Structure 1
């Protein structure tokens, strides 16, 4: 009898502990994550962010995109490029005109390209081609001399004269649809 009682108590406790989190609980964890991030507690924020990810679908889309951007940025600053790219990609897929995430993703791809530069060849060219559209969107929305130099360098390095010749035209077109802030209310 005692074994059955202990089993029942353990079973009920396990169900209670493992219950799905409510949207409000997830949002409160999101607020805790943001507080840790704003206070410069990177490791704590990364831990809280990792805990949030399994239930992130309970956040509103705007808050989710904001979370993805901020955790990508934390991973980038913590030299975790693979994870940074994963979350920048989520933001860019959801809000393609958000040039800040485009810049982050572009520079992460550029970092990969630089690692392949010495070997040259197809892998380097592919990495550069991944970086360019993101860098161009960022440049179109928020012009920066360093980004422009990098874009031009890449076109020269891969010997893409047409891409370089039509750059200004593309930048002008891309500059018409720029998002500079994510709204986490919707």
Structure 2
């Protein structure tokens, strides 16, 4: 009988310790994550963010988007593009007019394109096709960023990329697209 009571007590304790976190607890962790980011404690914030990442379904939608953006920025600053890109993509889907995320995605995709560009002289058709695919992923994001926050550097890059992939038609219609894309721009994520 004593064995049964002890086993029941252990199961109860384990159940209490393993309980799922409430939305309020996850939101509090999210606030702590933001505080660590503001304090410049990137390593601590990243560790917290990775724990929260498994619980994002408990955050309100706007907070979730802001969280993804914050964690992606930490990854990007730490040269972890592979981890940053999927989070930035979630932000772009949730806030398609938030041009800051488009600039980040555009330049991260250009990094991938640069790897293929370096292989163009020896890689033949496969290298060019891979380069072109990476450039085509980058360009819509760069164009949105350029439309909302014009930059000589970004514009020059866009033109170079179109020239590199030999897309004169898209290059000729660039200003029209940028004009259209610039009509709806969001520069700050709201909660």
TM-score, with structure 1 as normaliser: 0.95
Give the Å deviation of 1:94. 0.8
Give the Å deviation of 1:115. 1.0
Root-mean-square deviation (CA, aligned residues, Å) is 1.1
2:174 to 156, 162, 167: 167
2:166 maps to 1:152: no
Give the Å deviation of 1:119. 2.1
2:38 maps to 1:38: yes
- In the alignment of these two chains, the number of paired residues is 184
| Distance in 2 of aligned mates of 1:117 and 1:5 | 68
| Distance in 2 of aligned mates of 1:43 and 1:174 | 36
| Distance in 2 of aligned mates of 1:47 and 1:136 | 33
| Distance in 1 of aligned mates of 2:55 and 2:118 | 42
| Distance in 2 of aligned mates of 1:14 and 1:132 | 52
Q: 1:61-116 CA distances to partner (integer Å, 9 max, x unpaired)?
A: 11111111111110000111011001000000111110011111111101111111
Q: Which residue of 1 aligns with 2:149?
A: 142
For CA contacts below 8 A with separation 6 or more, give which structure has more relative contact order.
1
| Distance in 1 of aligned mates of 2:40 and 2:3 | 48
2:188 maps to 1:181: yes
Give 5+ residue unaligned stretches, structure 2.
121-127
Q: Which residue of 2 aligns with 1:130?
A: 137
Give 5+ residue unaligned stretches, structure 1.
none
TM-score, with structure 2 as normaliser: 0.93
